[in-house]
Amino acid sequence: MGTSKDLWSAYDFRKIPFDRIQRVAQRSLLYRDLFCVSWLLGRYCNYRCSYCWPYASTQTKDHRPTELILRTLDEIKRQARERGFNSFHFSFSGGEPTMHPGYLEILKHYCADVENSNYQSVHMTSNCSPGIKWFERYVEATAKLHRVSITASYHAEFADRNKLREKLLFLQNSDIQITINMVMVPSRFEALWEDDLFFHEAGINVTLKPQSDEKASQVVKGYSEEHLERMQRGMPQRQYTESKLKETARKSQRPRAAELIPTGEFERESGEAAPPQLMQVELTDDQGQPWFMDQAERFNAFGFNQFEGWDCSSGYRSIVIREPDGNIKRSYSCHDQPLGHIESGFKLFDKPQRCQTRTCVSSADSKIPKRRGGSSLPLWPGDKTGFSSPDGEMGAME
């Protein structure tokens, strides 16, 4: 159960010297040969939230055929393996991804070659509106994967929070990592904070997400200093799923992968026992010292989301597929040309490229390994792609 003792991060994210950071990376991407896919399956959603941006959802079903999805998935893995990546993380969202008629078939196909991969995980961003019976099938479809996670978006206009909480606890007890995604609208901040506490006290992670503007280009104004402080250090991501398994004397039945991500003192806390914090992001300063953060969603609360001119591995070892246009891009926010289209094909970059976009508002973009121009810090195990020269060409590493 969540308590007031684990409401605040024991690791002070505010001490990170953001102006001196030379490299940023999701740790699973930094220490594994991981290829990352963010796939927006369609804009169709079964909710009609009054505050949803017009571009974010539709009441018209706009899903691509399942057969096309499966072919594209196979081609992604083929090109990734050509570039030396044989671990995969696929993240599905929408609209509402569970509304795709072939969604469970897509998951089963993705899992079919786990034995041929070093590591495989899946994530879903969902309103979690399907019933328990559907989620029992979801648990079965993803049982072979090394890690399964869900970001559940809570929408009070349509969802009963008591029923949602029970559903999420069922998923946690099925060895699935859960977080509630709460967009902290400035005008409704305190009411939303009460909802945050409702889920937190049940031992469910809550993501305190600053609201972005209609163009998803920057964070809206209207937050007080106290609001920002809560979003900067409140409700750190903790290992609640593992703790619940331990409480019931059960062991995870998921396949074990090689432990490649180092642990450290930052993951240990003094005082009374609490589920350990999850530190998913690693930042390296100009002295080579590592700093840590629980998730990239917190970047926006610090205004740390501008990487123009940095070398970014998106498009080389990660892609984004967006509907309804079907474009395949290096990242959600990227201003450069698409890599291709889901109907006509695509080609990954042959090496990291320089970022051309002023602001990364999406955590799916900001977590992809990147380094400040001129740095030679590696972006993945065995990275020998070099560094950026002032004119943007890649140079050889010494």
Q: How many residues does the chain have?
A: 398
What does the pLDDT read at residue 266? 59
Residue 84 CA to its chain's centroid (Å): 22
Q: How confident is the model at residue 15 (pLDDT cuts 50, 70, 90)?
A: very high
| pLDDT for position 235 | 94
The topology under which CATH files domain 33-274+314-352 is TIM Barrel (3.20.20)
Who contacts 76 (Cβ-Cβ below 8 Å, separation ≥6)? 35, 37, 319
Give CA–CA dist 197/141, Å, rounded: 31
Angle at 225 between CA 221 and CA 231, to 5 degrees: 80
Reported confidence tier of residue 269, pLDDT bands at 50, 70, 90: very low
Can you give the pTM of this predicted structure?
A: 0.91
Mean residue pLDDT of the chain comes to: 90
- Please give the average per-residue pLDDT across 283-287, as a whole number: 97
Question: Based on the number of CB atoms within 10 Å of its own CB, is 108 exposed (0-12), middle (13-18) or buried (19 or more)?
Answer: middle
Domain range annotation of the chain: 33-274+314-352
- pLDDT tens for 103-140 read 999 999 999 999 999 999 999 999 999 999 999 999 99
Residue 13 phi, psi (nearest 5) = -60, -20
List, as own/partner pairs, every contact residues 362-365 make where C-beta atoms lie below 8 angstroms and the sequence separation is at least 24, other chains included.
362/216, 362/331, 362/332, 362/333, 363/295, 363/296, 363/297, 363/299, 363/300, 364/38, 364/91, 364/320, 364/331, 364/332, 365/314, 365/331, 365/332, 365/333, 365/334
Band of residue 390 on the pLDDT scale cut at 50, 70, 90: very low
Q: How far apart are CA 195 and CA 154, in angstroms?
A: 9
pLDDT at 272 over 50: no
Mean pLDDT of 203-225: 85
Predicted confidence at residue 397, as pLDDT, reads: 32
**Range with the lowest mean pLDDT among 118-132, 202-216, 223-237?**
202-216
Q: What is the mean pLDDT of residues 22-35?
A: 96
What pLDDT does 3 receive? Answer: 63
